[in-house]
Chain A
């Protein structure tokens, strides 16, 4: 059920009211609009986050005592399998697809996606996958852990059909991810706004590109592996049967390629989200946009190629282990660079510690701990000591926690775009502290336990292992982790329909998604602006500001008939002044804004450039032809320092937001309760 519209629609935008007779769920389930599909992805995946965390805490509680009898061994294995499959395949990837699927088309100024029905199919394949996996709870749940390695998972050692359900569920979901990636690649390639060359594409759009290609490389490999396993199990195949010259290790390679790909997707997504949030909340541009985007590509490539770090103990040639070690160690370069750029971006900035930034920093801390731990383990000698113990597992869990925090940060940052409402800050900050603190304590305890030799996936350990106390504290920490995550989930759910309404651009973001209304209409944009830099919306504001600064009314306006002025954002009333309103008035029309932006881009103040923006074809060729303007663009950037600093100009910004300007009668928050959206 979509939230009620807050912004008044322009009268000609009536396409969604044609279907007003249909129920909300019906619209959501049948709409191929990328925003509806993305919301389904987000809702479903967050459900599985809750499931996974609950199952995780159950396993930790079971392990408080050495010879625990809370669950029978097979029940324990089922719970832990459900937890690990849920957090990776059913939560992490679809969550990323949901956020990217909603925001990236808006960010690149697209009116939709290239293959909307394929996008929709992606969600329903994933939904079918979750169903197939959890239907197995009606008969036999798979008991073979995150990645059921044959021969344990073949028909001899796992004759029950739980593994088949796992194969079907993961296979269908992965097929969905691949469909999504095909659509995203096509969208990114063909539907960017005019002028948005790749070097001007937002960081999150780059992340979408990297994520898509990682999915396209690792997803089919996993589907192939699953198919072979299914043939082995049900049709007498011998792909992984050593007795018939099969190769059991092959499945380990394919599945680890896939799960390492998921790990890479999580890291790339988290890094990209933080890279979007940090500049906005320091009121400075990203220190180096190109370095961040190139680093994301490097993380995608290196992270995926490093899959064999999980297989040091397996019979693979030493050269391959060193190759994997090099890839995993080299991850420090792009990731360290991105961290340095975050720090340099905040340096001398005006850092506002609202919830998105707090969550982003918490995420960066958890990611640094987890990735640092993995970096330690990636040296072969250390890896052979720590691999497959809980000491190595806790690194992964910290990365997942960092990813979850980045996901929360993304929701805090972009939910106002999706719903027009903010999410409450207070609970989010408390949750961020709770989560990062409890995850660190959990990690430390499990690090000690792993050094003492506690392996992964065990349902019991022995008194003389000396890890009982550590497991007790780890269980306590995991309960606090659960509280933190559920607190934030509750906060999100509560704020989804009842948060404080804000305008279309609550954070003064600099990318194009903030140009659209909140929530965006089905076609996203009435007018698509030309893009001249990585910060198009900032350029638009700048253009408006310049035009207003030089605006001289031909003659004094009669005092009796001032034009109607839009009410400013509730969140921005501090920035309002009478002066700003007075200056704002004459420019409040979308055509003016677009024209103004274009005039700015071509480095002249004339209003004569009237090429309709919405008919411009966003082709690569067009983007390339814009390159000559780059020099002029940089000049503008250099010279705008003093202008941006002076007070009255920055104040009027809040009153001249393009979204509001699109309707002179907009009253800001006149909730349009009747519209079904």
Chain B
């Protein structure tokens, strides 16, 4: 019953706790990521970064404004005596309409900004003359299958099969990659932060996105939709290589495919002979 008048001991723990956590925060920040997302390597990914940074700034201002006003009011007009009865303000309500109007205008401006910056963020806008490659990305529990176009003319696979790879997508640099995303089982999500937005892979529905990688390298992504027990391993990587290396890769895959199909055919013939 005395807790009203005498603050309990746990109060003394609060500053200590705050200090510990603040220290932890400072220690943790350099140890790993900061507030910057992965560096963008595709035009639409850059648009996403723009939206993120502008909104992070505006959002922080808004949050600080909302909280700050309250805390200042509490601190400044804190009262311990019971006797003081403050004035009842009945005038000055015009400010409500002004605040609402200002906020509405602010929101409208941000909406327009959001539409402009987000329009077509799912697709990378290419300059004139950029080469394009259509790749199918097919999600399944718990890996990605990529099907490349049948480019190798005259090869065994022409018109019959396309070359494919699992988990790692190999694409040439500075080329627009049009991804058609599909799923053969449950809902997955294609998300390589450096190369563009996340896009769901929904069975029975082809979703599309594209990217233009501006630098060679290996970019990692992961699915963000729960897809079953091995969902954390549902990852993807995109290997961006030079145009020459890409041609070599395609040729190698084609050769391997022809070889494999020939072997299968041989086995089939042998079976027939029996």
Contact = CB atoms under 8 A, between A and B. Distances in A.
Contact of B84 (A243, A350, A449): A350
A151 B88 contact: no
B21 interface: yes
B89 A287 contact: yes
Nearest to A354: B4
B3 A424 contact: yes
Contacts of A340: 69, 96, 99
A134 interface: no
Interface string A452-492: 11011111110000111110010011001000000100000
A376 B198 contact: no
A438 interface: yes
A224 interface: no
B11 A426 contact: yes
A457 B107 CA distance: 32
Interface stretch (A162-170, A182-190, A599-607, A633-641): A633-641
A455 B32 contact: no
Contact of B77 (A144, A326, A350): A350
A368 B119 CA distance: 28
Give the size range of B's interface with the partner: 35 or more
Given A325-B118, A361-B70, A368-B67, A384 B107 contact: no
A349 to B, nearest CB: 5
B3 A248 contact: no
A385 B193 contact: yes
Interface residues of A, number: 124
B204 A243 contact: yes
A426 B7 contact: yes
B113, B119, B121, B232 pick with most chain A CB within 10 angstroms: B232
Contacts of B66: 336, 339, 364, 368, 372
B185 A151 contact: yes
Given A157-B228, A329-B111, A386 B52 contact: yes
Contacts of B158: none
Given A149-B187, A426-B7, A242 B111 contact: no
Interface string A237-272: 000001101101100100000000000000000000
B224 A315 contact: no
B198 A448 contact: no
A467 B226 contact: no
A611 B267 CA distance: 103
Interface stretch (B54-62, B129-137, B170-178, B257-265): B54-62
Interface string A574-587: 11000000000000
Interface in B117-153: 117-119, 121-122
Given A333-B104, A430-B14, A315 B205 contact: yes
Contacts of B251: none
A422 B67 CA distance: 28
Contacts of A452: 32-33
Given A143-B229, A480-B17, A381 B88 contact: no
B73 A343 contact: yes
A29 B100 CA distance: 47
A313 B37 CA distance: 18
A287 B84 CA distance: 19
B14 A644 contact: no
B185 to A, nearest CB: 7
Contacts of A322: 114-115, 118
A641 B63 contact: no
Contact of A426 (B8, B69, B193): B8
A625 interface: no
Contacts of B70: 339, 342-343, 346, 361, 364-365
Contacts of B60: 372
A346 B77 contact: yes
A118 interface: no
Contact of A441 (B6, B21, B72): B21
B228 A381 contact: no
A77 interface: yes
B8 A476 contact: no
B205 A364 contact: no
Given A282-B77, A644-B85, A381 B118 contact: yes
Nearest to A148: B226
Interface in A327-362: 329-330, 332-333, 336-337, 339-344, 346-353, 357, 361
A161 interface: no
B227 A384 contact: no
A13 interface: no
Contact of B25 (A74, A333, A444): A444
A500 interface: yes
A70 B93 CA distance: 58
B79 A325 contact: no
Contact of B198 (A387, A645, A651): A387
A425 B187 contact: no
A140 interface: no
Nearest to B27: A469
Interface in B13-48: 13-14, 17-18, 21, 24-25, 28-29, 31-38, 47-48
Given A283-B86, A364-B70, A387-B198, A381 B48 contact: yes
A453 B1 contact: no
Interface in A624-664: 634, 637-638, 640-641, 644-645, 647, 650-651
Given A336-B62, A434-B17, A455 B223 contact: yes
B189 interface: yes
Given A73-B230, A343-B70, A382 B55 contact: yes
A288 B18 CA distance: 36
A470 B33 contact: yes
Contacts of B4: 422, 424-426, 500
A590 interface: no
Nearest to B84: A350
B32 A448 contact: yes
16 contacts: A151-B186, A284-B88, A336-B99, A336-B103, A343-B72, A344-B89, A350-B84, A351-B77, A351-B79, A368-B63, A376-B55, A387-B224, A426-B10, A427-B10, A437-B21, A458-B232
Q: Which 6 residue pairs across A and B have the least CB separation, nearest first?
A: A242-B204, A381-B51, A384-B197, A380-B118, A388-B224, A372-B63
Given A375-B62, A460-B232, 15 more contacts: A242-B203, A322-B118, A330-B107, A332-B107, A339-B70, A348-B86, A350-B79, A351-B78, A351-B79, A365-B67, A448-B34, A461-B232, A470-B32, A640-B88, A650-B85
